Structure 1
């Protein structure tokens, strides 16, 4: 299986060690009080991503440029003055600074993709802090500068997939054939079912639900919602980030995983790891155990990918061909 091309459609390469520590302590809220190190032992930077690709034989990584803008916005409310006019003025200044951070992060990710043929990116958006014109300008600019898609994170924005502020993005992406990869979950904001109206309004929309839907009960709840939407809308896809580890850990059998993937359609499932966040989440699951590398969990996921009882064509589709077909990578 040495010729199997593996493309990781879902990972979070971070700009610097400080950027990584902000994710670790601010987004994930990991710290010594939670029984975890105050700083991660690895940082998910581009140099480290190159080493991980070499160690795991991943051919290509797709950066999902996620700025946890909602957290920045909510935290900033505590610093605003009491006087109404001053509060409104400084709130607008804060909003503009956060939007600039989203734009700067997207520019950085696009630069990484332009500098390395082994990297690509989806640009991030925030439909709450960005108005419709800014949203469309950022998506359009990102695509023109080489982005392959758009990243949507409902839990960050506090919105669901049917929020009308996302309609301009859906319209643009459906018309241009640009995929949107959205965080999905059955236990927080990001329910797959709430995208049904968007899919009905934009039948050509290419929508990738992360984590197979991400329900705590495999195949149920949000997982079943993704399956139902895939049956109804040909543009619905999903990725296996955070889910192949369930097979590696013995929580889901390999035959059950394959049956679920085939029911969705193995031509509509993409390999993804959620690196480097996935490795941080594993630290929480193994308190006091230090990983040997920054890709312990990823190694297990790749082993599952290679050993699931799939046909050779199904495995090749899942590993990389579906991503190439969906995004046009290399065409």
Structure 2
């Protein structure tokens, strides 16, 4: 190869490099999108959990929504009050009052309470067992294979004797467990106090049918409804009206607890000293209307 050829090749490469550098520099200016520095500041204030509990895909998208769309500054459950205060300071707004959201498992049946449990040998996951008929008699209750446990990054929910139980001392309210439950029996609920009362059942069948499959399920007998105005029976299932729920005045709820034949009205949450003092002279079990979804709701039928 002659020196002239080598020189031409080198000159061509240098020329192309100059042209591409110019094009890239022009594109960088022409297509530059200015990013509000507050987005980066909010991102750094967030814990980086990317749990999706705020309703956005991750912390980065939430940070953009706070700055660009005016999303609430207190939506990060893992970050808690300190994180909300930091974001509020960046945005120059007040945090405002917001109730913490925590999961409630709308089932109170341990293995011993369940009837009709089959010898299921398929994949040991709730999402798989949920599409199999007759895994257990109750088609509404906790399957107990622990999809919610696997989804929780905070070790705040565990399957104990066939039932998912929330550890409220570790729970941050990210909502991952609720998203993982194929039966939608875990509901994210705003807690007006450290502990709230809940009905631990999702079964909407008639009472006699409930008795066939579960020893502790709600019978829809209306005893709680007659004893306390916070309760209403909807589709054979007792529900609490949390809009009118007042943590300071719960006397009638204890009347409903006494009347409930299944003892299915329970306290859930992390007990504080104030909570313990309030119920010191009461006898109440310690373990929201469910958004229940059946197996066939997600099934594509083919003829």
Q: Which structure shows the bigger proportion of residues in helix conformation?
A: 1
Tell me which of the two structures has the higher relative contact order, counting C-alpha pairs closer than 8 angstroms and 6 or more residues apart. 1
TM-score of the superposition, structure 1-length normalised? Answer: 0.26
- Structure with the greater alpha carbon radius of gyration: 2
